[in-house]
């Protein structure tokens, strides 16, 4: 690795580590509350009643069985993709590339799902085939920044940002191209891929709602990731590399191998998120703009969940609920559905700038006993 790349990598790692050390569970909760309060000021300024707006938002997302099912369906890709990002955080890696890996997984799934022989096999084979395709697509696409970082020191943040752009353009071409036709369904009025075979579609959890088996899969993946991280030697290596790569080397672990493994597996998770959406969605096909910001929002969700594999579930459900209830809010309270993006942005803001939240709610920083060791020294001479 080149020295400079190594140093900037340490910086990112330190920043991530400091954030998680300093933010106890209470901070994300307060951050959400603060965002809601500041959001109501925005609603007031727009001339509406915030209580009506939030009530409508809540009705739209949790007000009925159907609403809850919709919210959970909407949350499913966020759970899996933010789990992917959180997994990277554990090794001190900032996988900005979930968006690209998710698209690659979705493309692979949309392609494999239309293979002729898939139509001939039962669902127990066809569904895993499609999910596996998504996994492999994401794994390979996540492996690229992993290998580049391990071999050359290229920073994963830069590489994955660029790979996201490549994936977005590639998806547009693969889906929209008529000559040559690649994945396009030529009968479609709006360009999308050929729907995958019925045998490969994920069954609905509750018939008549969009909620599909993918939600169960997402929760299971959270359990698996937690188990791998906390109870296995591989997870121990990942956490050690994340917490102190020097100690990992000293203990005989291979830091570069772990980096490749984590980014590839993080990509695989994101790929599954994409595949599950294609296979579980009501249409069974993929449009170029389908995932808009899912991969990017997942970074925010992973931060809100403080990279805890279980906390990503409520954090992602919050995200899904905001998006699901937005329409009802607009219809019933007359507040633009874009307000939910303001609230989402405020949540991110207050999670990132946790000092504000701490100040407002008087949350004590943990481990402030021995300030001499680092904090106070920073003052030193000066002003």
Q: Which parts of this chain interact with other proteins (CB under 8 A)?
A: 3, 17, 21, 231-234, 236, 239-240, 243-244, 246-247, 249-254, 367-372, 376-377, 379-383
If the CB atoms of residues 292 and 379 are measured against other proteins, the closer one turns out to be 379
Distance of CA 4 to the CA centre of its chain: 29
Report the nearest approach of other proteins to the CB of residue 235 (Å): 9
| 90 or 212: CB nearest other proteins | 90
CA separation for the pair 189, 178 (Å, rounded): 13
Phi and psi at 193, nearest 5°, equal: -75, 160
Nearer to other proteins, 232 or 283 (CB): 232
CB of 380 to other proteins, least distance (A): 4
In angstroms, what is the minimal distance from the CB of 78 to other proteins? 27
By beta-carbon proximity to other proteins, the closer residue of 187 and 372 is 372
The distance of closest approach from Cβ of residue 264 to other proteins in the complex, given in angstroms and rounded to an integer, is 17
Q: Minimum distance from CB of 257 to other proteins (Å)? A: 11
Distance CA 294, CA 277 (A): 11
Between residues 10 and 66, which has the closer beta carbon with respect to other proteins?
10
User: How far is it, in rounded angstroms, from Cα 190 to Cα 375?
Assistant: 57
Closest CA to 368 of 380, 360, 358: 358
Closest contact distance (angstroms) between CB of 36 and other proteins is 31
Closest Cα partner for 129 from 217, 193, 205, 199?
Answer: 199
Q: How many degrees, rounded to 5, is the angle at CA 133 between CA 131 and CA 134?
A: 65
What is the rounded CA–CA span in Å between residue 97 and residue 88? 11
Q: How far apart are CA 375 and CA 325, in angstroms?
A: 43
CA dist 340 and 318 (Å) reads 11
Nearer to other proteins, 204 or 365 (CB): 365
Cα dihedral 15, 21, 23, 28 sign: positive
Of 6 and 282, CB closest to other proteins: 6
State the CB neighbour count (10 A cutoff) for residue 314: 17
Task: Find the shortest distance in angstroms from Cβ 258 to other proteins.
Answer: 13
Tokens 């951050």 appear where? 31
For 13-34, give the DSSP string.
Answer: HHHHHHHHHH--THHHHHHHHH
Q: How far is the CB of 222 from other proteins (least distance, A)?
A: 18
Secondary structure of residue 204 in the 3-state scheme: strand
Of residues 338 and 374, the one with the C-beta less far from other proteins: 374
């Amino acid at each position: 690795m080149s020295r400079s790349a190594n140093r900037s990598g340490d910086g990112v790692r330190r920043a991530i580590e400091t954030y998680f050390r300093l933010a106890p569970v209470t901070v994300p909760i307060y951050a959400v509350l603060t965002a809601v309060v500041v959001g109501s000021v925005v609603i007031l300024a727009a001339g509406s009643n915030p209580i009506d707006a939030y009530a409508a938002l809540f009705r739209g997302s949790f007000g009925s069985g159907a609403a809850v099912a919709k919210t959970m369906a909407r949350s499913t890709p966020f759970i899996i993709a933010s789990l992917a990002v959180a997994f990277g955080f554990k090794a001190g890696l900032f996988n900005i590339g979930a968006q690209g890996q998710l698209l690659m997984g979705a493309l692979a799934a949309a392609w494999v799902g239309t293979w002729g022989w898939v139509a001939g096999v039962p669902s127990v084979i066809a569904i895993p085939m499609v999910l596996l395709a998504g996994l492999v697509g994401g794994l390979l696409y996540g492996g690229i920044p992993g290998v580049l970082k391990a071999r050359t020191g290229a920073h994963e943040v830069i590489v994955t940002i660029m790979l996201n752009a490549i994936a977005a353009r590639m998806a547009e071409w693969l889906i929209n191209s008529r000559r040559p036709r690649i994945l396009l369904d030529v009968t479609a009025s709006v360009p999308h891929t050929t729907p995958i075979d019925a045998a490969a579609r994920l069954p609905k959890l509750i018939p008549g709602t969009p909620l599909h088996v993918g939600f169960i899969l997402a929760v299971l993946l959270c359990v698996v990731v937690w188990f791998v991280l906390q109870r296995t030697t591989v997870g121990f290596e990942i956490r050690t590399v994340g917490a102190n790569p020097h100690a990992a080397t000293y203990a005989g672990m291979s830091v570069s191998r772990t980096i490749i493994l984590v980014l590839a597996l993080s990509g695989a998770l994101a790929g599954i998120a994409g595949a599950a959406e294609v296979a579980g969605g009501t249409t069974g096909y993929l449009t170029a703009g389908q995932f808009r910001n899912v991969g990017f929002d997942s970074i925010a969700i992973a931060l809100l969940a403080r990279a805890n594999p279980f906390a990503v579930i409520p954090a992602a459900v919050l995200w899904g609920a905001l998006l699901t209830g937005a329409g009802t809010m607009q219809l019933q309270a007359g507040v633009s559905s874009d307000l939910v993006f303001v609230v989402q942005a405020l949540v991110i803001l207050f999670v990132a700038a946790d000092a504000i939240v701490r100040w407002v709610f008087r949350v004590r920083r943990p481990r402030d006993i021995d300030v001499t060791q680092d904090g106070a020294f920073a003052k030193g001479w000066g002003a």
